[in-house]
Amino acid sequence: MTITRKDETISIICDTCGTTFRKTFPHDEFAVMQREIQQEGWKPRRKAGAWEHACSHCAQSQDGRLL
């Protein structure tokens, strides 16, 4: 998972295409960010011991490979 931190905010970037999620979150609201990205179709997966996230478009393109 690519998370960027700037000042007191965090944002997440799709590990497949580089799309940045539409909003940033306060650094202490990681769980809120996770809920919101999943509600909008972003899909997490664990690969080689690290978490990766795909935006809704890439998740649809990859179909069942993220589940």
pLDDT level of residue 25 (50, 70, 90 thresholds): very high
3-state secondary structure of 34: helix
pLDDT level of residue 66 (50, 70, 90 thresholds): very low
Name the pTM for this structure: 0.80
Tally of domains within the chain: 1
State the Cα–Cα distance between residues 1 and 4, nearest whole angstrom: 10
pLDDT at position 58: 92
What is the domain range of residue 15? Answer: 2-66
Q: Higher-confidence residue: 60 or 55?
A: 55
State the Cα–Cα distance between residues 37 and 9, nearest whole angstrom: 16
pLDDT at position 67: 47
State the Cα–Cα distance between residues 12 and 30, nearest whole angstrom: 10
Residue 7 has pLDDT above 50, yes or no: yes
